[in-house]
Chain A
Amino acid sequence: MALIDLTIHEMQQQLAAGSTTAVALTEAFLQQIKATDEQINAFITVCDQQALAAAREADEQRAAGNVQPLTGIPVALKDIFVTEGIRTTCASKILGDYLPPYDGTAVRKLKEQGAVIVGKLNMDEFAMGSSNENSAFGAVRNPWNTDCVPGGSSGGSAACVSARQSAATLGTDTGGSIRQPASHCGVVGLKPSYGRVSRYGVIAYASSLDQVGPLTRDVRDCAIMLGAVAGYDCADSTSVDLPVPDYLATLEQGVAGKKIGLPKEYFIDGLDDDVKQAIDASVAKYKELGAEIVEISLPHTKYAVACYYVVATAEASSNLARFDGVRYCQRVDEGTGLADMYSQTRAAGFGDEVKRRIMLGTYALSSGYYDAYYIKAQKVRALIQQDFTKAFEQVDCILTPVAPTAAFGLGDKTSDPLQMYLSDIFTLSANLAGICGMSLPCGISQKGLPIGVQLLAKAFGEAELLQTAYAFEQATDWHSQQPEL
């Protein structure tokens, strides 16, 4: 098997056995990036020299007996994570050649555990988008069909794993931005519960919704990566001080006797036939594995899109105020004063979708509209969270589609932002409620595109989620399907 086809746990074994080295793995991935990224455009920055130096260091550490779980494993990061000395763009023109003076916590943890960072990944600008077409560095293409989108906003993170350009990646998920691209690219993606992973050093989009999570080849790798980055961090006051369980220890416990809920509101008109069939087959598989399937109701599901696009844009309009041409950014100044400098800098630096969301959020927070939009949406958010609280009194896990369709074509939805937003219907609620969710491969459409199934568990139920996903993966081989490049 080629080095780039190995999972992290297989690489760990080969590295331990001395049958490969961090340098060999890193060279193999850098070669794959070179060979495929002109087509895919998953990377904004490839760090060959730094990666090879880190790989040599990892091999030296291993020789000296200092072995961490990720020693010598090549990974890549969504370009939303600030990385000391490596250009960080958030896929925006406004940041120019921003060189962060520090590493974010998740990045620091990966480095401390010996991971080799091969590069920074393309994304929708400031994580705003569902197709990865909103990038100042060009759209990412789906490795399964380069006329299709990879999903977004962590489109580069999903495409990278799918195209075997690194062993695993980190993304962020504010409304589905890990799970939806994972589904569209046929990889495993996990959005942890709000507060599970530190957001320190992650460029903020909507702070009450943003979470960091892994995208990987399989569920075991996902457990390894989550274990590496999870945990309380005093630099993020919203991270939660709960112990991080050993996700690998409980991975193989199976699903016999588990109750899996099917929310009737998710099986609606507009759900593509191929997706429906794949989800039905997943349900049948879980029955076969001994799980009990229970129909449940999440009655406020249909309000999630409206609720999310008020809450998220309001928070974004505030967070993105920092891009003002003073501390960083490409300043545009026509000499007509400070306020004009701000407005000109921001007009020149932000793309259309970012401008649209700042405008919507500013409107929702503005005098006269605050109660009608922002407070109303926060109340509906509470109702959505209560739906899940009630559901998890009945069931251990919830199973749904990730998206109503497989990956759509490049350009199909760019002219109609509302249609693009509506495609996020199945993933937004988990962020609003703060629970954890993941996407795992469960089928291939008639057009040859991957389909994902979403599993949701209650807040801090990641062990439950991974266990449930692992049982499915062991009984199917969808995760081992690969695109032809």
Chain B
Amino acid sequence: MKITRAEVEKVARLSRLALNEEEIGTIIGQMDAILGHVEQLNELDTDGVTPMAHAVPLENAFRCDEVTASLGAEKALANAPNEVDGCFGVPKVIE
């Protein structure tokens, strides 16, 4: 196996996904098969190859320096599941 149950549980935590037992059982086998396929990348000698993050080489891209209207709080909050006094409400983080 390329991946253990403990690793899958850890990745689920990092991914912020509450997976149930059944989902974890299924995904171990699936991830194992996919990672097994990915192994074939190791057949290639890539020493000295520069990793390619992007198809188009980009320098730092500044946006156009123009003053434009922003969205505004009302529109920005319109889809919030919990709006509190013009802010996004979230569960308490610090007691």
The main secondary structure of chain A at its interface with chain B is helix
Q: Which listed residue (B16, B30, B56, B78) contacts A417, Cβ 8 A?
A: B30
**What chain B residues lie within 8 Å of A300 (beta carbons)?**
44
User: Known contacts being A306-B40, A327-B79, A418-B33, is A347 close to B90, with CB within 8 Å?
Assistant: no
Q: Which listed residue (B11, B12, B55, B63) contacts A195, Cβ 8 A?
A: B55
Interface string of B3-32 (1 = CB under 8 A from A): 100011011111111111001000100110
Whole-angstrom distance between the alpha carbons of A377 and B49 in the complex? 11
Whole-angstrom distance between the alpha carbons of A343 and B9 in the complex? 13
Whole-angstrom distance between the alpha carbons of A459 and B55 in the complex? 9
Q: Is A376 an interface residue (CB 8 A)?
A: yes
Whole-angstrom distance between the alpha carbons of A300 and B46 in the complex? 12
Q: Is B71 an interface residue (CB 8 A)?
A: yes
> B38 contacts A101, CB within 8 Å?
no
Whole-angstrom distance between the alpha carbons of A305 and B12 in the complex? 24
Interface string of A57-97 (1 = CB under 8 A from B): 00000000000000000000000000000000000000000
> A325 contacts B55, CB within 8 Å?
no
Instruction: Report the contact-size class of chain B (Cβ under 8 Å from the partner).
Output: 35 or more
Q: Which listed residue (B3, B19, B54, B64) contacts A347, Cβ 8 A?
A: B19
**What chain B residues lie within 8 Å of A305 (beta carbons)?**
37
Considering the complex, give the chain A residue whose CB is closest to the CB of B7.
A363
Considering the complex, give the chain B residue whose CB is closest to the CB of A434.
B55
Closest chain-B Cβ to A141's Cβ sits at a distance in Å of 26
Whole-angstrom distance between the alpha carbons of A340 and B34 in the complex? 28
> A378 contacts B53, CB within 8 Å?
yes
> A240 contacts B41, CB within 8 Å?
no
> B76 contacts A373, CB within 8 Å?
no
Pick out which of these stretches binds chain B: A48-56, A214-222, A329-337. A329-337
Whole-angstrom distance between the alpha carbons of A355 and B63 in the complex? 33
> B55 contacts A433, CB within 8 Å?
yes
> A378 contacts B52, CB within 8 Å?
yes
Which residues of B are interface residues toward A (Cβ below 8 A)? Answer: 3, 7-8, 10-20, 23, 27, 30-31, 33-35, 37-42, 44, 46, 49-56, 58, 61, 63-64, 71, 75-76, 78-82, 88, 90-93
Closest 6 CB pairs of A and B: A434-B55, A378-B51, A237-B61, A331-B81, A379-B46, A382-B52
A-B contact pairs, 20 of them (CB 8 A): A208-B55, A237-B61, A303-B40, A303-B41, A321-B16, A326-B80, A326-B88, A329-B81, A341-B91, A346-B18, A347-B17, A356-B30, A359-B11, A359-B17, A362-B11, A363-B3, A379-B52, A385-B52, A417-B34, A421-B37
